[in-house]
Structure 1
Amino acid sequence: MTIEIDNLRIAFGDRKVVKGVSFKVAKGASFGIVGESGSGKSTVLRAMAGLNNEWSGRIAFSGEDAPLKRPPAFFRKVQMVFQDPYGSLHPRQTIDRILSELPLVHGMDRIDDRIAKVLSAVALPQAARFRYPHQLSGGQRQRVAIARALIAEPEVLLLDEPTSALDVSVQAEILNLLADLRAERNLTYVMVSHNLSVIAHLCTEVGVMIDGNMVEQVTAEDLRLGNVQHAHTRELRSLSVELEEPA
């Protein structure tokens, strides 16, 4: 599924948060948005996901303009993975119940089979199905959050800082899992992060945001080589750990 964002503007009252952002993502590609806290990057993602209706401009998936109020079928094709895996999972529901919710809403069949397959896809043991979120590690909880997004068989994943709440040792595991899933399922990714190294690990193209503006778009390879134009991109690059080709 292709994505087109054209002149996206978002304001909360008199405060302009996103100021005319535009970018395109090809089917099966991965686009990262990097910026400091308050730059507007997560606000862009929430508008794309249908979680914020206060926007103007154009948001299109596979050439079709997205309405302000999305139909139920949209949420089978476009799913979001949030920053905090503990906060996004209901603490008093088992993993089985959490993973069953979306298929039940959409009237999908073979729910038990779908849950078993999606747990396997994110490398979780089947026994995790009958545990509660607090009984899992942070990395396992994020795998559940990814599984919940995948069970609807989407074409697009919107990733909001999906590793920032995790230990550094676990971050690479989740990033590698996401990379493998994108390749296996031909998923289209848009990911936001304040960490340029994380973005460059997973995304082939990167948009840099500051104060609601996307000031530069550059390939991950040019980031690694230092072929950037905007001063803010250079600043973010200098603050990041060394940008290496992912293993």
Structure 2
Amino acid sequence: MISVRHLDVHFGQVRAVSDVSFDVAAGDTFGLVGESGCGKSTLLRVLSGLNRHWTGAIEVAGRAVGPARDKAFHRRVQMVFQDPFGSLHPRHTVDRALAEPIAIHGLDDAEGRIARALDDVGLGSRFRFRYPHQLSGGQRQRVAIARALILEPGILLLDEPTSALDVSIQAEVLNLLARLRAARDLTLILVSHNLAVVAHLCNRLAVMQAGTIVEEMTIDTLRHGKPAHPYSRELLDASLGYHRS
């Protein structure tokens, strides 16, 4: 479904992403992990079309895509951002947030689409005319997920979708995403620094360090604590917490 070859991204003299290549099969859940600043969110913004300054080759569903993307691409590929409050307009109701992509893409049955989207993320019609400040963090992220899914995309890009949420809410959102992926046969790419989050949702992952992919592995390899690269092992050890010697 997604193929990336020799991707490079520069910000001035800084090389944020360097010679990155990977593939994601249709229906797969693929994780990108690494410490802050390693380039994983930059990579996701390139895939989504938000960052147009890159070199390399990207294919989506067997078709090459360039820096500029058309409406058909954005119907197929949607993104959920890290901060559910920042990604929703504070003066727009949930109804308006969900109606906007429907209007932009000229889709019919806005009423039905909005109702189904809210039901799908476990909110329901009672949340339709609320404002973001009237919602909890988990509810705001559910609205953001509903907005991404209302166009019925085949690919969902997730940029740290639970990192701004309380730990008690994170599992609820991850379980929601897993259920929606199965129900809609979605292809997911999840960016996270949290290996537990990636292990919960993904089948495979790539470890990034300083803009490059240093290792790809299955979740079974991660769970058995057997990554091959030293940095991957350090990342796994760090995720297990601090142990006094």
Q: Tell me the TM-score normalised to structure 2 length.
A: 0.97
Give CA-to-partner distance per residue, 1:17-59, whole Å, 9 cap, x none: 0001111000010100001010000000000000001101111
Q: Which residue of 1 aligns with 2:137?
A: 138
1:170-185 matches, within 5 Å, as 170-185=169-184
1:51-200 matches, within 5 Å, as 51-200=50-199
Q: Which residue of 2 aligns with 1:50?
A: 49
Amino acid at match of 1:58: A
2:159 touches 2:192 (CA, 8 Å); kept in 1? yes
Give CA-to-partner distance per residue, 1:185-241, whole Å, 9 cap, x none: 000000101111111111100100010010000001110001210011111111114
Structure 2 CA distance for aligned equivalents of residues 67 and 7 of structure 1: 14
Structure 2 CA distance for aligned equivalents of residues 195 and 129 of structure 1: 32
Which is worse superposed, 82-91 or 59-68? 59-68
Tell me by how many angstroms 1:125 deviates. Answer: 2.4
Structure 1 CA distance for aligned equivalents of residues 213 and 219 of structure 2: 16
Structure 1 CA distance for aligned equivalents of residues 65 and 196 of structure 2: 31
Find the residue that maps to 1:68 and give its secondary structure.
Answer: coil
Structure 1 CA distance for aligned equivalents of residues 130 and 84 of structure 2: 15
1:197 touches 1:241 (CA, 8 Å); kept in 2? no
Tell me by how many angstroms 1:148 deviates. Answer: 0.1
Structure 1 CA distance for aligned equivalents of residues 41 and 101 of structure 2: 23
Q: Which residue of 1 aligns with 2:207?
A: 208
Q: Which residue of 2 aligns with 1:234?
A: 233
Find the residue that maps to 1:44 and give its secondary structure.
Answer: helix
Find the residue that maps to 1:73 and give its secondary structure.
Answer: helix
Tell me by how many angstroms 1:120 deviates. Answer: 0.5
Alignment: residue pair count: 241
- Percent of counterpart pairs with the same letter? 58
Q: Which residue of 2 aligns with 1:6?
A: 5
Structure 2 stretches of 5 or more lacking a match?
Answer: none
Amino acid at match of 1:98: A
Tell me by how many angstroms 1:63 deviates. Answer: 1.1
Q: Which residue of 2 aligns with 1:26?
A: 25
Structure 1 stretches of 5 or more lacking a match?
Answer: 243-247
Which is worse superposed, 69-78 or 79-88? 69-78
Find the residue that maps to 1:130 and give its secondary structure.
Answer: coil
Amino acid at match of 2:94: I
2:115 touches 2:124 (CA, 8 Å); kept in 1? no
Q: Which residue of 2 aligns with 1:245?
A: none
Give CA-to-partner distance per residue, 1:158-211, whole Å, 9 cap, x none: 000000000000000000000010000000000101111111111100100010
Find the residue that maps to 2:176 and give its secondary structure.
Answer: helix
Find the residue that maps to 2:71 and give its secondary structure.
Answer: coil
